[in-house]
């Protein structure tokens, strides 16, 4: 293959979880540091990075159809890189199936993107799916850009091996980033304009590190220290595993004002036999008692979760148990999925795979149930006074949209700018958002 002119512009398209959004932003930082500029909306880019997701089959297959659609207005193909978890799991297959792809880079190796780009420009096709001992984070440029809300990956990987899940294979073992690095990155984010930081990890509450005094602390220790940053107004974290919900973290929900009253705590199913087959290592009862403790610490907490319907062998009665759990908990938000067999995971070869139409029907019933609890939650917040951090413009002139402490999208008529914190009264509930009236404008 002949030499290609070095790309001047790039676009990173991220799919899947928030950790991919974080990685996509960091790849953008790396490319910017190499002198490339982000392609403006609606224009062709010289380099396109597809930052992919492998969690379900549909998400993984999407990459091949996306590659086919990347041609530019003049009919030429951009330089294409495939990154993320599909790259990690199917690197060789991508290279074989998609000759236009010039770089394949796994989630633990993307700090090497600049060198890979040089190789690709010289006409070579390059793959890097190593999980190097050195962390990529140390090799990434310092963060200089941020909107009012920012993600900060504090932990990666997973040692839990739920029987349906590819994450332990694509992201590797659990690794926590050092405390000092995280404090430094958070400080820089606030200097760049972030007022809310969401700490990310596949099992974020498994994070552990040594604080400035050398004491080993858990996620609550990190949150307490971050709360001291004067320009940081709000802290969130996701995704947590029930087994890593420590007493300290629960207590932090009661006494750290900047920690928002929202907890995403996936349960996956409402039946103990199914949970055991999933290797979840919690029961319905232990999950409910955990929620009791969280609610005792923070009575107004909004609860969210992930659910899988149609796990191999799930009976109608076992699925009904999930519906009961949804009503009992009263989720404020949730994500629900049809089980998708992933190559190499134990569940993929289990007996009793569920027919597609049964899964469809179960998913519809589950989503109807979740929709009811979500509307009930939003309705119950009508009349509350709270803060809203303005994130973007609304659909109509004079409308802005931001988040309440409970992570509801709030539509407010206001002249406030993006990044301002408003005090509002919630006036109307809805399925996916609430409407609110502005009360007092805090100083910008």
Q: In terms of C-beta density within 10 A (0-12 exposed, 13-18 middle, 19 or more buried), how is residue 384 classed?
A: middle
Sign of CA dihedral 88, 278, 159, 186: positive
Q: Which residues pair with 104 in a beta bridge?
A: 82, 127
340 binds, among ligand SF4, ligand SAM, none (CB under 5 to 8 A by kind): ligand SAM
Q: Which residues pair with 156 in a beta bridge?
A: 175
Near ligand SAM by CB under 6 A: residue from 10, 110, 164, 179: 164
Binding string to ligand SF4 for residues 256 to 275, with x set by CB under 6 A, is what?
Answer: --------------------
Three-state DSSP class for residue 295: helix
Query: How many residues appear in the chain?
Result: 444
Shortest Å distance, C-beta 334 to ligand SF4 = 15
- Span near ligand SAM by CB under 6 A; candidates 36-44, 130-138, 339-347, 418-426: 339-347
Shortest Å distance, C-beta 192 to ligand SF4 = 30
- Span near ligand SF4 by CB under 6 A; candidates 14-22, 90-98, 155-163, 224-232: 155-163
168 binds, among ligand SAM, ligand SF4, none (CB under 5 to 8 A by kind): ligand SF4
Instruction: Decide if residue 342 touches ligand SAM (CB under 6 A).
Output: yes
Q: Which residues pair with 210 in a beta bridge?
A: 216
Shortest Å distance, C-beta 157 to ligand SF4 = 9
Shortest Å distance, C-beta 443 to ligand SAM = 39
DSSP 397-437: TTEEEEE-TT--EEEEE--PPTT-EEEEEEEE--SSEEEEE
Near ligand SF4 by CB under 6 A: residue from 165, 325, 366, 412: 165
**Strand blocks (E) in 310-403:** 333-338, 385-393, 399-403
Distance CA 66, CA 50 (A): 8
Q: Which of residues 295-324 bind ligand SAM (CB under 6 A)?
A: 306, 308
Q: Which of residues 250-289 bind ligand SAM (CB under 6 A)?
A: 266, 268
Near ligand SAM by CB under 6 A: residue from 102, 241, 282, 403: 241
Q: Which residues pair with 12 in a beta bridge?
A: 49
331 binds, among ligand SF4, ligand SAM, none (CB under 5 to 8 A by kind): none
Distance CA 150, CA 194 (A): 6
**Strand blocks (E) in 119-267:** 126-128, 149-153, 155-156, 175-176, 196-200, 208-210, 216-218, 234-238, 262-264
Between 48 and 165, CB nearer to ligand SF4: 165
Phi, psi of 413 (to 5 degrees): -85, 120
Shortest Å distance, C-beta 90 to ligand SAM = 15
Q: Which residues pair with 411 in a beta bridge?
A: 401, 435
Q: Which of residues 189-208 bind ligand SF4 (CB under 6 A)?
A: 202-203
- Span near ligand SF4 by CB under 6 A; candidates 154-162, 210-218, 252-260, 293-301: 154-162
Instruction: Decide if residue 160 touches ligand SF4 (CB under 6 A).
Output: yes
378 binds, among ligand SAM, ligand SF4, none (CB under 5 to 8 A by kind): none
Token representation of residue 381: 């917040």
Task: Verify cis geometry, omega within 30 degrees of 0, for the bond prior to 239.
Answer: yes
Binding string to ligand SAM for residues 193 to 212, with x set by CB under 6 A, is what?
Answer: ---------xx---------
Instruction: Decide if residue 237 touches ligand SAM (CB under 6 A).
Output: no
Between 342 and 403, CB nearer to ligand SAM: 342
CB of 431 closer than 8 Å to CB of 375: yes
CB proximity list for 380: less than 8 A, separation 6 or greater: 429
The binding site for ligand SAM (CB under 6 A) comprises: 17, 55-56, 164-165, 167, 202-203, 239, 241, 266, 268, 306, 308, 337, 339-340, 342
The binding site for ligand SF4 (CB under 6 A) comprises: 158, 160-162, 165, 167-168, 202-203, 241
């Amino acid at each position: 293959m002949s030499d290609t002119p070095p790309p001047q512009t790039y676009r990173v398209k991220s799919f899947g979880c928030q950790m991919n959004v974080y990685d996509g932003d960091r790849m953008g930082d790396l490319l910017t540091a190499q002198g490339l500029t982000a392609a403006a909306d609606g224009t062709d880019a010289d380099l396109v990075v597809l930052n992919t997701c492998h969690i379900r089959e549909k998400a993984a297959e999407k990459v091949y159809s996306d590659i086919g659609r990347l041609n530019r207005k003049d009919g030429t193909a951009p330089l294409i890189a495939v990154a993320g978890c599909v790259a990690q799991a199917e690197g060789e297959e991508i290279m074989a199936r998609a000759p236009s792809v010039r770089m394949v880079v796994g989630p633990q190796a993307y700090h090497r993107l600049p060198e890979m780009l040089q190789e690709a420009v010289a006409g070579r096709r390059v793959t890097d799916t190593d999980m190097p001992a050195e962390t990529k984070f140390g090799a990434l440029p310092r963060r200089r850009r941020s909107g009012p809300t920012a993600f900060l990956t504090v932990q990666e990987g997973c040692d839990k091996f739920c029987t349906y899940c590819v994450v332990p294979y694509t992201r590797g073992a659990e690794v926590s980033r050092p405390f000092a690095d995280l404090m430094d990155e958070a400080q820089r984010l606030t200097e760049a304009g972030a007022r809310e930081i969401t700490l990310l990890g596949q099992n974020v509450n498994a994070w552990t590190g040594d604080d400035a005094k050398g004491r080993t602390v858990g996620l609550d220790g990190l949150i307490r220290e971050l709360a001291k940053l004067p320009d940081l107004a709000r802290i969130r974290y996701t995704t947590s595993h029930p087994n890593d919900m420590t007493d300290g973290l629960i207590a932090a929900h009661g006494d750290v004002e900047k920690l928002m009253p929202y907890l995403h705590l996936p349960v996956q199913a409402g039946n103990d036999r199914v949970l055991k087959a999933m290797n979840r290592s919690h029961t319905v009862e232990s999950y409910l008692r955990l929620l009791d403790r969280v609610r005792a610490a923070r009575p107004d907490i909004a609860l969210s979760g992930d659910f899988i319907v149609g796990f191999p062998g799930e009976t109608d009665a076992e699925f009904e148990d999930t519906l009961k759990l949804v009503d009992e908990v009263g989720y404020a938000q949730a994500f629900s999925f049809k089980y998708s067999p992933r190559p190499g995971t134990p569940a993929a070869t289990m007996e009793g795979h569920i027919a597609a139409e049964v899964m469809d029907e179960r998913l519809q019933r589950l989503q109807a149930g979740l929709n009811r609890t979500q509307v009930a939650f939003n309705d119950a917040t009508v009349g509350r006074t709270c803060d809203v951090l303005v994130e973007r413009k609304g659909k109509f002139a004079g409308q802005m949209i931001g988040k309440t402490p409970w992570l509801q999208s709030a539509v407010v008529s206001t002249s406030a700018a993006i990044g301002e914190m408003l005090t509002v009264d919630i006036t109307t509930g809805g399925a996916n958002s609430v409407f609110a009236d502005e009360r007092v404008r805090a100083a910008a």
